[in-house]
Amino acid sequence: GAALDSVAWQRLEPGLEYAEVVSPIAASTGDSRIRLLRIDPANFTVELYNASAAADGARRTARQWAVEHGLAAAINASLYQADYRTSTSLMRSRRHVNNPRLSRHDAVLVFDPRDAGLPPVQLVDRTCGDLTAIAAGYAGAVQGIRMISCQRVNVWSQQPKQWSNAAVGVDDRGRLLFIHMRAPLSTHDFAEALLALPVGLRQTMYV
């Protein structure tokens, strides 16, 4: 598809913007629309909610978590083990540790800084940053699979399988992006499509 010159962002409230764009790589079925929510972490805090921490232990949809806790937005946090409650990799917040184990995956979203002088949110690529030093400054950490590296390179190999994709990213101004495409694409092609969008995307983690 043709490259976009610009993206029309809709301002929902201060620090929160939404856009829908047609993917530069078309899906075989569906509307090929990529939905982006841009969040300024100066205006919003990142919270982690887990079924493993809930009093009733029950799983909830993203919509149910958002309604229950009055959230402005919600997205899946990471990949889960067979119990549908435990993350496959490191996942912790100030209130709850879902999984204390660091896996081989190279992307870690850190949030809830312990020091007011730190950026409110960072997406760390372990191949170009010292995770131990950075993560020590944050109460919250969610590890996942790197999609777009700190060098803005698509590191996901091509596969024949296609599915809906979701990602968390950061742009060149440190804003957080929640990204979703319902129509099926290979994750490699999804990452390529994101790199082609004029949104200043720096790196992403698959969720």
Find where tokens 């075989």 sit.
Answer: 28
Nearest alpha-carbon partner for 146 in 207, 63, 60, 82: 207
Model pTM? 0.94
pLDDT < 70 positions in the chain? 1-4
Give 45's Cβ-side CA count (13 Å radius): 13
Find where tokens 């887990």 sit.
Answer: 50
pLDDT in tens, 88-125: 999 999 999 999 999 999 999 999 999 989 999 999 99
Q: How confident is the model at residue 80, as a pLDDT?
A: 85
